Amino acid sequence: MAATDLHYLGLVDVGRKIQAKELSPVEATKAMLGRIEKLDGKLKSFAHVMADSALTEAAAAEKEIASGKIRGPLHGVPVAVKDLCWAKGAPAAHGMTIHRDFRPTEDATVVARLKEAGAIILGKLQQTEGAYADHHPKIDPPKNPWNADLWPGASSSGSGVATAAGLCFGSLGTDTGGSIRFPSAANGVTGLKPTWGRVSRYGAFELAATLDHIGPMARSAVDCGAILHVIAGQDPKDTTAVPLSVPDYLAGLTGDLRGVTIGLDRRWTSEGTDGDAAKVLAEGVRVAADLGAKIKEISFPDPKAIIDDWFPLCGIEVAVAHEETYPARKDEYGPALAGLLDLGRQQSGMDYQKIVLRREAFRGAVRALFESVDLLAIPAQAFAAPTLAKMAALGEDASLIGGLLRFTCPFDMTGSPTVTLPGGFAANGGPVGFQFVGRHFEEAGLVRAGDAFQRVTDWHKRHPAI
C-alpha cells in the first residue's frame, strides 16, 4: 500500500489491514515517521518524536502478528500521546521550560496500556504550558493544518493537529476546561472526553486534579471507542480510577438511534452562539432525528455561576499541583499560567467551600436531567473556527472566554462524558464541531451516537490540503 493511501485511514481500518497481514506494522510506522519528518517542521505538532523505540515496537508487533498472536484492534497501529503523559525515558516537558530535562522512569498508565495493546507510540505531542490556555512564550505552537491563521485549539493542540494532518492514526489528549473538545472541533477530528474516573491519571502531569480527564482523539467515534477500551479501567496506582468493568465500545453498534432520547435546550444552545456553530448543531440534531432519536425540549440548569467558578477552582487545584515551583520559579512561567496560579492562591477556604457546594448542586441538577434523556446535544463552542487574531484578545474580552467555555467547562465540573464530532465548516473554511453529552460511565452511548452520525455523513472523512 502506498503511503499516500495510508495516512488518512481510520485507526480500526488500518488495524484490520495490519492484523490481516495486508500491511506491515513496520511499513505503517515508517510511513508515518516519514510524514512527520516531511510536514511537522511546519505544523509543530510533536514535542518529541520517538522514532527508534517506535520502530522497535513495530518490529515486535510484526513478529507477534506473524505468529498469529493478535492483541486487539490497536495491535501494530501507530499512535501518539500528549506530552504530559509519561513515556519511560522520553522527555515529558508538560509544555513548560521547567520540566524540559525531565525523563520519567516509568510509563503513565495510559501509555502502558497502549503498549500492552500492541500500539506503536510515535512520540509526544505538543501542548499549552501546563495544559492551560496558552503555549509558553518560548515554545512555537502547533499550526492548524486547515489554515495557519486559524486557532488550533488548546491545550491538546498537538494532538488535534497531528491527528487531523495524518501524522498518527489516533492520539491522547486531556480535558480540564475543554481541551479535548476545542482541538477536536478546531481541527476537524473526533474527540471523546470520558467520565471523570473512567481513565487513570497516573503518570500524567496535573493541571487540576478533579477536573482533568484523559481521552482519545481520532478520525471517528469508532476509533475513539477502540482507544478508550484499551486505556480505561481500574488502576491500583490511581484509586480515583473507578472499579467498573469496561465494555467493548465497538460491540453492538447498530447504525441507528432508535430508542435514544436527546435533550435540546434551544434557548441555551442558541443565545450568543454564532450562525456557523448554530447551523452545525441544528444539522446534527436533524440527522439524529432521521436516525430514529427522539428530540426532547429541555431546560438546562443555568451554568453561569459554575462557569465563573471554574476559574478559581482550577486555579486552586493548579496551585497545589505547582506548589514546589510556584512562586519560587515564577520568572520561568508564562503570563497565562502564572495569572491562573495567582488567582488560585488568592482564594480563601470560605471561597473554596462555596465553590464546592455550588458544584455539587450543579452536578445534582445535571444528573436529574439525565433521568429523562439519554444524551444532550450542544455546540462545541459558541463561536466557530476562531482565528488566532480573535483568540489573542481572549484575556481582554469576557464575552470571548465565556463563549469559549460555555459548552465545555460545565461538563468538566460535573465529570460528564462527551463526544465531539466534526459537523461542517465555517464561512472562513475552518472545521466546526458539535457535542453529544452522556450520563456518567455511559460512553458506549456516545460511541453509538457518533458512529450512527458518521455512517451517514462524511465530515470526519474530509482532510486538510497539506
Q: Is residue 155 annotated as part of the catalytic site, yes or no? A: yes
Q: Is residue 179 annotated as part of the catalytic site, yes or no? A: yes
Position 54 scores a pLDDT of 98
Of 3.40.50.1000, 3.90.1300.10, 3.40.225.10, 3.90.180.10, the CATH number of 3-461 is 3.90.1300.10
**Of 45, 115, 124, 155, which is the active-site residue?**
155
Q: Over the Cα atoms of the chain, what is R_g?
A: 20
Burial 198-212 (b: 16+ CB within 10 A, else e): bbbbbbbbbbbebbb
Position 149 scores a pLDDT of 98
Segments in 176-303 forming alpha helices (H): 181-187, 221-231, 266-270, 275-290
Contacts of residue 176, defined as CB under 8 A and 6 or more positions apart, other chains included, come to: 131, 155, 207, 208, 211, 212, 213, 314, 412
Q: How far is CA 251 from CA 172, 229, 416, in A?
A: 22, 11, 22
The 8 Å CB, 24+ separation contacts for 248-252 are 249/225, 249/443, 249/444, 249/447, 250/12, 250/73, 250/222, 250/225, 250/226, 250/447, 252/448
**Residue with cell string 508487533:** 61
Cα distance between residue 203 and residue 185, in whole Å: 27
Query: From the DSSP assignment, how many helices (H) and strands (E) are in the chain?
Result: 16, 11
φ/ψ (deg, to 5) at 109: -55, -40
Q: Side chain identity at 418, as an amino acid letter? A: T
Q: Is residue 138 annotated as part of the catalytic site, yes or no? A: no
Are residues 171 and 125 in contact, defined by beta-carbon separation less than 8 angstroms?
Answer: yes
Distance separating the N- and C-terminal Cα atoms of the chain = 20
Are residues 196 and 213 in contact, defined by beta-carbon separation less than 8 angstroms?
Answer: yes
**Of 45, 156, 159, 179, which is the active-site residue?**
179
Q: Is the peptide bond before 155 cis (omega within 30 degrees of 0)?
A: yes
**Of 24, 45, 82, 184, which is the active-site residue?**
82
Cα distance between residue 212 and residue 407, in whole Å: 16
Are residues 252 and 219 in contact, defined by beta-carbon separation less than 8 angstroms?
Answer: no
Cα distance between residue 177 and residue 155, in whole Å: 9
The ranges assigned to domains in the chain are 3-461
Cα distance between residue 281 and residue 140, in whole Å: 33
Cα distance between residue 129 and residue 109, in whole Å: 22
- Those residues of the chain that have pLDDT short of 70 are 1-4, 395-396, 398
How many Cβ atoms are within 10 Å of 283's Cβ, its own excluded? 17
Position 395 scores a pLDDT of 62
Tens of pLDDT, residue by residue over 176-194, are 999 999 999 999 999 999 9
Position 335 scores a pLDDT of 93
Torsion of CA 133, 328, 94, 315, to 10 degrees: -40
How many Cβ atoms are within 10 Å of 107's Cβ, its own excluded? 22
DSSP character at residue 80: E
**Residue 319: closest CA among 309, 306, 330:** 330
Q: Residue 331 burial by CB count (10 A; 0-12/13-18/19+): exposed, middle or buried?
A: exposed
φ/ψ (deg, to 5) at 431: -65, 150
Sheet (strand 46-49) strand order: 46-49, 120-125, 78-82, 170-175, 213-218, 190-193, 418-425, 431-438, 375-379, 261-264, 294-297
